[in-house]
């Protein structure tokens, strides 16, 4: 396959590996660069090292036909490619700003190896102004390298479907030819998506996505702004939940009525234990830091962050009042350690926060998650015991906290809680359980704002 149809993806996290696997089924030869040998070995076996529905068969099929090439070598992949995607990690610093060490390191190493006229695409979420700095570094190399910002909008747990049946593709840059070339990749993906969805075993969606071309700075700001706004909606709902608890209202009913206004909508107005994951917390803190760097105080986002940080403690306070104002030696089971259903990702997980806070308060904590056991092991305190099933985790428990919306948790029979637990307290930290079923089984139901 010629160079014009060869792509390199730097980094194989949720964004990078998904992008690489899908483009490898869209008429391109794709190098997936992963420096971690353990992860690379898993990918070479036709699997993902994290759980994402449908991704394994897509990887395996691309490897079989030779269009996906996992490697740890920039030297092999980058010079052979016409387009290089940067999908490396952007963790946050202790002050909330984005750590761009991997971003600049990848750009520096790739820049040294890229042939003239290569297009370098930044898919990692970076603060506004990052692209201009990388463009300056490329200019010093004396090569005609075009830089394009192409932020991702996939959700973990539905990454393949979100990428295949996108609502929008955003590209920003100063070279119109380069932005056009990047858009062509997604048009090729769109043309192949029905066949790819069949391989992945995910549902097709008759969605016509929008292609949006912007300036470089606008593209960089769009992603973090979108995530920050969604995080703001969640924190707003949680603020109202606290008020609902005080005045005897039901926040689910309140937000259902509010969301009926089409100007507002119901999405992300679900009160509960707060948001987590690798995007919302990082993007909110990064946007706040970026604002301060440019002399803008984003007070509204600081408030949203504070509300979110308060939610695990707020839930534990409600639990503690029901258990007699002490948690010492109380057995509490946590159902759900991933930050959301459909993924094994435990970054900034409210379920992890609840488990660790309970352990520090003297509780005996057991936990179960259908996918996140391995990833959770490194972030749970030593006092938390993980089990292999719901029944094992809740046996003898004084209280159960449902912290992630896995279907098996929502559908678990209330009568089974009553038969297996020692106590009677069920805490619905996601506001997804049927309170009447819980109460009919002789149990005490606690929601958030209910």
Q: Considering the domain boundaries, does residue 141 fall inside one?
A: yes
Given 214, 237, 260, which residue is the final one in a domain? 214
Given 168, 186, 214, which residue is the final one in a domain? 214
pLDDT digits (tens, 9 = 90+) for 37-59: 999 999 999 999 998 989 999 99
In the predicted structure, residue 3 carries a pLDDT above the cut 70? no
pLDDT digits (tens, 9 = 90+) for 62-108: 999 999 999 999 999 999 999 999 999 888 777 767 789 999 999 99
In the predicted structure, residue 119 carries a pLDDT above the cut 90? yes
**Catalytic annotation present for 87:** no
DSSP classification of residue 52: B
Residues 323 and 182 both lie in one domain: no
- d(CA 146, CA 172) in angstroms, rounded, equals 11
Query: For the domain that residue 178 is a member of, what is the CATH number?
Result: 3.40.50.720
Q: Considering the domain boundaries, does residue 228 fall inside one?
A: no
Half-sphere exposure of 390 (CA within 13 A, CB side): 21
- State how beta strands 210-214 and 331-335 pair: unpaired
Residues 205 and 73 both lie in one domain: yes
Six token digits for residue 355: 């488990």
CA distances from 401 to 44, 308, 316, 331, 335 (A): 38, 18, 10, 11, 6
pLDDT digits (tens, 9 = 90+) for 422-448: 999 999 999 999 999 999 999 999 999
Residue-level pLDDT at 133: 94
Residues 210 and 306 both lie in one domain: no
Given 157, 180, 214, which residue is the final one in a domain? 214
Residues 315 and 192 both lie in one domain: no
Residues 184 and 54 both lie in one domain: yes
In the predicted structure, residue 1 carries a pLDDT above the cut 60? no
Active-site option among 32, 279, 316, 448:
279
- d(CA 338, CA 82) in angstroms, rounded, equals 37
Percent of the chain past pLDDT 90, that is, above it, reads 86
Question: Which residue from 364, 406, 400, 370 is spatially nearest to 385, judged by alpha carbons?
Answer: 364
Q: Are 167 and 207 in contact (CB under 8 A)?
A: yes
Six token digits for residue 285: 């803190």
Residues 202 and 306 both lie in one domain: no
Q: Which domain holds residue 137?
A: 3-214
325 falls in which pLDDT band (50, 70, 90)?
confident
Q: Considering the domain boundaries, does residue 242 fall inside one?
A: no
Half-sphere exposure of 28 (CA within 13 A, CB side): 31
Q: Considering the domain boundaries, does residue 208 fall inside one?
A: yes
Residue-level pLDDT at 371: 94
pLDDT digits (tens, 9 = 90+) for 124-170: 989 899 999 999 999 998 888 999 999 999 888 888 988 999 999 99
Residue-level pLDDT at 2: 61
- d(CA 272, CA 159) in angstroms, rounded, equals 23
Mean pLDDT in the chain?
Answer: 94
Six token digits for residue 233: 């909606």
Residues 209 and 70 both lie in one domain: yes
Q: What angle do CA 306, 434, 440 make, to 5 degrees?
A: 130
Residue with tokens 């703001």: 232
Q: Considering the domain boundaries, does residue 144 fall inside one?
A: yes
Q: Considering the domain boundaries, does residue 398 fall inside one?
A: yes
Residue-level pLDDT at 177: 95
Residues 12 and 145 both lie in one domain: yes
Q: How many structural domains is the chain composed of?
A: 2
Residues 196 and 327 both lie in one domain: no
């Amino acid at each position: 396959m010629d160079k014009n149809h060869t792509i390199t993806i730097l980094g194989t996290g949720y964004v990078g590996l998904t992008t690489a696997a899908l483009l490898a089924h869209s008429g391109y030869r794709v190098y997936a660069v992963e420096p971690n040998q353990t992860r690379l070995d898993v990918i070479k076996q036709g699997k993902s090292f994290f759980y994402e529905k449908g991704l394994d068969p897509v990887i395996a099929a691309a490897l079989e036909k030779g269009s996906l090439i996992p490697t740890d070598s920039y030297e092999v992949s980058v010079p052979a490619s016409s387009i290089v995607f940067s999908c490396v990690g952007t963790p946050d610093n202790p002050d909330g700003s984005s750590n761009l060490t991997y971003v600049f390191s990848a750009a520096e190493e790739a820049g040294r190896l890229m042939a003239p006229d290569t297009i370098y695409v930044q898919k990692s979420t970076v603060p506004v102004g990052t692209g201009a700095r990388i463009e300056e570094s490329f200019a010093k190399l004396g090569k005609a390298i075009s830089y394009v910002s192409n932020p991702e909008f996939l959700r973990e747990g539905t990454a393949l479907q979100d990428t295949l049946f996108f609502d929008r593709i955003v590209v920003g840059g100063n070279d119109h030819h380069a932005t056009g070339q990047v858009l062509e990749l997604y048009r090729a993906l769109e043309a192949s998506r029905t066949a790819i969805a069949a391989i992945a075993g995910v549902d097709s969606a008759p969605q016509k996505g929008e292609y949006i071309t912007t300036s470089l700075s606008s593209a960089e700001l769009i992603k973090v702004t979108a995530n920050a706004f969604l995080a703001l909606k969640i924190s707003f709902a949680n603020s109202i939940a606290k008020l609902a608890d005080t005045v005897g209202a039901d926040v689910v009913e309140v937000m259902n009525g509010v969301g009926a206004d089409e100007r507002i909508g119901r999405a992300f107005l679900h009160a509960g234990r707060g948001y987590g994951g690798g995007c919302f917390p990082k993007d909110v803190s990064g946007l706040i830091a970026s604002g301060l760097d440019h002399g803008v105080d984003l007070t509204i986002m600081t408030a949203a962050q504070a509300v979110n940080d308060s939610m695990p403690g707020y839930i534990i306070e409600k639990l503690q009042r029901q258990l007699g104002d002490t948690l010492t030696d109380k057995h509490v089971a946590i159902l759900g350690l991933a930050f959301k259903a459909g993924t094994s990702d435990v970054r900034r997980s409210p379920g992890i926060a609840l488990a660790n806070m309970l352990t520090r308060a003297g509780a005996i904590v057991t936990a179960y998650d259908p996918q996140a056991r391995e990833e959770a092991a490194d972030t749970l305190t030593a006092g938390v015991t993980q089990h292999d099933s719901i029944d094992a985790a809740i046996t003898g428990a004084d209280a159960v906290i449902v912290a992630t919306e896995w279907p098996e948790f929502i559908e678990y029979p209330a009568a089974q809680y009553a038969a297996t637990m020692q106590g009677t307290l069920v805490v619905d930290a996601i506001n997804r359980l049927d309170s009447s079923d819980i109460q009919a089984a002789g149990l005490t139901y606690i929601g958030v704002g209910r």
